[in-house]
Amino acid sequence: MTIFLRAALLLTVPLATGCGQVVGKLIPPQTFSNPANLDGAKLSSSSTLQPAAVKGTVGYDTSKTAPPTPFADLKYPEDVPFGVRPHAMKLQAQFTQAVVQGTCSFPSTFQLTVQRFDAAVSDATGSATLSVDPKLTVTLTKTSGTATSATYSISEHVVTVSADAATTSKAINILTSGGQNNASATAYILADQNGLAGCTIQFTLGKTSLTLSNFS
């Protein structure tokens, strides 16, 4: 997170433009790949999938990885011309692969709906969460497997979650003060195959990007 936000905020602007509000209006939306090193993050279910219909929650949290992987605050406002700040942000991500494990059936294909997706940043002082209810349905296709696990590819899709000015401001404050930061992502899912009940599922997150906009 530090790297891409630093890149976002270290924007080169002409000194002649004057105050931050004027400068901000000249800055187009800035998009950065792999925020908080989320590409490759493993969103895992903490318990087995439940039937009727098969549902569960998968999540990833830098404070709970082994070892934990927090990241430091940004230098702010020294690194930012005229104190310019973004007042809107949009995170986009995809699930690139899924692994189902346990004692359940492993269908050749099944459909899965992402009912809700949350992304958050936090430090010792609080947290800011971006949330969306995408009701996004994707198709999972089995690519390999054993008696106790199966790997699935996932159809092309994008999960988009946005933040308003208040949430964006809170996130920037967290990332620039209060010490070490953590990032997390959580998805609430629903599958159409009851035979998956009793298994756990893990998704690999990829193709993530963050767009900062509405600078002033």
pLDDT at residue 5 is higher than 60 = no
- Phi/psi for 179 (5° steps) reads 90, -155
The whole-number average pLDDT for the span 52-74 is 84
CA–CA distance, 124 with 179 (Å, rounded to integer): 7
- First-to-last alpha carbon distance for the chain, in angstroms, is 21
H or E, element range at 26? helix 20-26
Per domain, the residue ranges of the chain are 2-215
What pLDDT does residue 26 have?
Answer: 66
Q: Which of 72, 70, 73, 74 is nearest to 9 (CA)?
A: 74
pLDDT at residue 15 is higher than 80 = no
CA–CA distance, 86 with 91 (Å, rounded to integer): 14
pLDDT grade for 37, boundaries at 50, 70 and 90 = confident
The whole-number average pLDDT for the span 164-170 is 94
Please provide the average confidence, as pLDDT, over all residues in the chain. 83
pLDDT at residue 79 is higher than 60 = no
Q: Which of 74, 70, 93 is nearest to 85 (CA)?
A: 74
H or E, element range at 167? helix 165-176
Tokens of 75: 């230098």
Burial of 16 (0-12, 13-18, 19+ CB in 10 A): exposed
Q: Which of 186, 63, 76 is nearest to 120 (CA)?
A: 186
Beta bridge partners of 101: 149, 200
**pLDDT tens for residues 179-206?**
899 999 999 999 998 899 999 999 999 9
- Phi/psi for 51 (5° steps) reads -75, 175
Phi-psi region of 195 (alpha: psi -120 to 50; beta: other; left: phi over 0): alpha
CA–CA distance, 39 with 93 (Å, rounded to integer): 9
Residues of the chain above pLDDT 90, percent: 52
pLDDT grade for 25, boundaries at 50, 70 and 90 = low
Tokens of 52: 């009727």
What pLDDT does residue 16 have?
Answer: 36
What pLDDT does residue 56 have?
Answer: 87
